[in-house]
Amino acid sequence: MTIHKEGYKSILIATVLFAFINLASFQFFSFNWPWISWLIFIVTFGFLLFIISFFRVPNRVLTTGENLVICPADGKVVVIEEITDVEYFKDKRLQVSIFMSPANVHQNRNPMSGEIVYNQYHKGKYLVAWDPKSSTENERHSIVIRNSHGEILVKQIAGAVAKRIINYLTVGQQVKQCEEYGFIKFGSRVDVLLPVGTKVNVSLNQVVKGGVTVLAEF
């Protein structure tokens, strides 16, 4: 396991706060109320461990396949339905949504290899990630990957807690399946829009792993 580069600053700030709070706590409380100092230590240490864990990047054996669409994120499948895409395709698409809790790994991976033909950031609201309106009304970053099998759209969507979406891709870039393409800080969701008729290999409420679980196949 490694720590994601997006976490260095956050972990440093959390460590400095942990040290400052506990130095002050033990100086002012340890003599008369030592239990308060220990309580503060346990709570702040737990918070520090959570921050470190949030930015973890576990070692994994990745799944690849030319006719496969791999899950771009860790989390739980919360939506599998046919929708009308109003952003790019302007027609019917099969949407699969993965909800990412703060406990999940938040690195995002390319679900398939191909060329980036669309890359657009949208300002928006911060509705809870499981609200159906979050797909079209929340802050989000959409990309479209094209290869010989067609095009799929992938949305990184902010939620009530997630306030920063990071995307490393540019239009015209050639990407490889399962390579990292972005990161979402502190929980949200990722939507994948597939051609209607695509075989979906996951089910509602299934827990999936980014870069490992097969989402669909052409």
pLDDT tens digit sequence for 152-179: 999 999 876 656 889 999 999 999 999 9
| Stated pTM of the model | 0.86
**Catalytic residue list contains 188:** yes
| pLDDT tops 70 at residue 130 | no
Record the tokens describing residue 111, joined without a space.
Answer: 């679900």
| pLDDT tops 80 at residue 86 | yes
3-state secondary structure of 94: strand
What pLDDT does residue 111 have?
Answer: 97
* Residues linked to residue 116 through DSSP beta bridges, in sequence order: 145
Q: Cα separation of 185 and 11, whole Å? A: 13
Catalytic residue among 25, 101, 188, 203: 188
Lowest mean pLDDT among 20-34, 74-88, 107-121, 180-194: 20-34
* Residues linked to residue 96 through DSSP beta bridges, in sequence order: 80, 192
Chain Cα centroid distance, residue 44: 25
State the pLDDT confidence band at 34, using cuts at 50, 70 and 90.
confident
State the pLDDT confidence band at 103, using cuts at 50, 70 and 90.
confident
What pLDDT does residue 84 have?
Answer: 94
CB 39, CB 25: distance < 8 Å: no
What pLDDT does residue 123 have?
Answer: 86
Name the class of domain 68-217: mainly beta
Listed in sequence order, the residues at least 6 apart from 15 whose beta carbon sits closer than 8 Å to its beta carbon are 48
The better pLDDT of the pair 105, 82 is held by 82
Domain residue ranges in the chain: 2-57, 68-217
Place of tokens 């979906």: 200
What pLDDT does residue 187 have?
Answer: 64
Alpha carbon separation from 159 to 45, 128, 166, 195 (Å, rounded): 26, 5, 14, 26
Among residues 82, 87, 96, the alpha carbon closest in space to that of 141 is found at: 87
Mean pLDDT of 46-55: 90
State the pLDDT confidence band at 133, using cuts at 50, 70 and 90.
low
Among residues 13, 11, 112, the alpha carbon closest in space to that of 55 is found at: 11
Q: Cα separation of 76 and 98, whole Å? A: 5
| pLDDT tops 70 at residue 2 | yes
State the pLDDT confidence band at 146, using cuts at 50, 70 and 90.
very high
- Say what percent of the chain tops pLDDT 70: 91
